[in-house]
Amino acid sequence: MNTASGVPVTRNPNEPRVRVVGLPGSVRPHGSTRLAVLKALEGAEAQGAITSLIELSQLDLPFAYDHSADYGGDVRKLREMVRTADGIILGTPEYHGGVSGVLKNALDLMGFEEFRGKMIGLIGVAGGAMGAHDALNTLRGVGRALHAWVVPAQAVVPNAGRAFAADGSLRDSALERRLLDVGREVARFALLHKCEEHVSFLREWEQAPENPGGDQNVRMPT
Judged against a pLDDT cut of 80, whether residue 169 lies above it is answered with: yes
pLDDT, position 11 = 56
pLDDT at 4 (0 to 100): 36
Q: Which residues pair with 164 in a beta bridge?
A: 170
pLDDT band at 200 (very low <50, low <70, confident <90, very high): low
Tell me what pLDDT residue 87 has. 98
Domain 2-207 has CATH 3.40.50.170: no
Closest CA to 55 of 35, 29, 75, 79: 29
Through-space distance between the first and last CA atoms of the chain, rounded to whole angstroms: 57
Q: Are strands 2-4 and 7-9 parallel, antiparallel or unpaired?
A: antiparallel
- Domain boundaries defined on the chain: 2-207
Higher-confidence residue of 16 and 192: namely 192
Mean pLDDT (the chain) is: 86
What is the C-alpha R_g of the chain? 21
Side chain identity at residue 208, one-letter code: A
What does the alpha-carbon distance between residue 179 and residue 131 come to, in Å, rounded to a whole number?
A: 16
Judge contact between 183 and 44, C-beta under 8 A. Answer: yes
Relative to beta strand 50-53, strand 87-93 is: unpaired
Torsion of CA 206, 208, 214, 218, to 10 degrees: -140
The whole-number average pLDDT for the span 145-149 is 96
pTM of the model: 0.82
